[in-house]
Amino acid sequence: MSDEAPGETPRALDDELRGLEDGRAQELSLSAAPRSACPLGICDGSGFVIDEESDVAADCRCRAGRIASARTSTLEGRIPRRYQGVGFDRPPVSDIARSAPDQIASVRRYVRRIEENLDRGRGLWLQGDVGTGKTTLAMLVSKAALAAGRSVAIYSLPRLLNLLREAMDSQEGKLDFLDRLTSIDLLHIDDLGAEYRTDWVLEQLYSIVNARYEAQRAIVATTNLMPDELSERLGARTVSRLVEICGDLIPLFGADKRREFRPA
Ligand SMILES: Nc1ncnc2c1ncn2[C@@H]1O[C@H](COP(=O)(O)OP(=O)(O)O)[C@@H](O)[C@H]1O
Ligand SMILES: [Mg+2]
């Protein structure tokens, strides 16, 4: 079963990802996050507690979480609504597990050691036709990373490139954006290959992937390109770095499950 309403199209995710952020690159400032109450009820919302006697400030226990969420709230670090309820033991993942047990086992193994995998800059990439569950499985990984208190940024590739385009008004803008993309624990790129292939696109994709490769930072990605199309469509240098980060592609097969729920 799917929770997807009849008649919805794959565009819906992209719209939803786009809706996560108003999309101005200059708004992606880490310091702009508004101060919120201490979730533990300890500090005044500043992330610090002052020892009254010595007048010395110490980190509040909420501070690590605040830093992680400040980093992600300005990048797109939230699970889109459609995928918020994803879990291994419920549909559609439990359905996918019946037809693709090995693939689900690989994702489960990765998620079980999410902290170690992120620390080592190891990722995953999922490949298959439209509607085979790639995005669903990638969201499981992002959800696990967020649950472990890690910073995550989730983009479709077209959207990521649009933000980069906006940031590129200046060379510093581009470097700053790449720096921020590199500093998060997990970069989630949905739909690699869904962008027209131009020299500019190949170059930017390479900058993003290479920056993370050099910093040993993890990537989770999905693509509907076939293995033999990857180099041609994404560039050989980018693909070889993705293979190093993500290991072998996890292939998903089958009919477009979105279609099955569409009215005739
Ligand atoms: N094997 C499956 N069994 C049942 N539903 C599935 C299966 N794979 C995907 N779905 C459903 O199909 C829709 C598309 O899944 P999604 O993960 O977005 O696919 P993709 O990213 O591969 O295009 C979702 O509503 C999902 O719940
Ligand atoms: Mg998808």
Pick from 157, 159, 177: nearest CA to 167: 177
Same-domain pairing of 91 and 216: yes
Matching residue, tokens 């994709």? 205
Same-domain pairing of 67 and 85: no
Angle 92-188-21 from CA coordinates, rounded to 5°: 100
**Which two three-digit tokens encode residue 231?**
């180099």
Last residue of a domain, one of 55, 71, 87: 71
Contact 93, 87 (CB under 8 A): yes
Contact 193, 157 (CB under 8 A): yes
- What is the position in ligand 1's atom list of the atom closest to the CA of 129? 22
Same-domain pairing of 61 and 81: no
Is residue 5 included in any domain, yes or no?
A: no
Domain that holds residue 32: 10-71
Q: How far apart are CA 158 and CA 196, in angstroms?
A: 9
User: 42 alpha carbon to ligand 2 midpoint, in Å?
Assistant: 41
- Identify the nearest ligand to the CA of 250 by its number: 1
Same-domain pairing of 189 and 232: yes
User: 218 alpha carbon to ligand 1 midpoint, in Å?
Assistant: 24
- What is the position in ligand 1's atom list of the atom closest to the CA of 100? 1
Residue to probe by mutation, ligand 1, list 9, 126, 136, 225, most atoms within 8 Å of CB:
136
Same-domain pairing of 149 and 224: yes
Q: How confident is the model over 46-103, as pLDDT tens digits?
A: 888 888 888 888 888 777 766 666 655 556 678 998 999 999 999 999 999 999 999 9
Last residue of a domain, one of 35, 53, 71: 71
Last residue of a domain, one of 19, 48, 71: 71
From 16-30, 171-185, 206-220, the region with the lowest mean pLDDT: 16-30
With a 6 Å cutoff on the Cβ, whether 136 touches ligand 1 is yes
- Identify the nearest ligand to the CA of 126 by its number: 1
Contact 122, 218 (CB under 8 A): yes
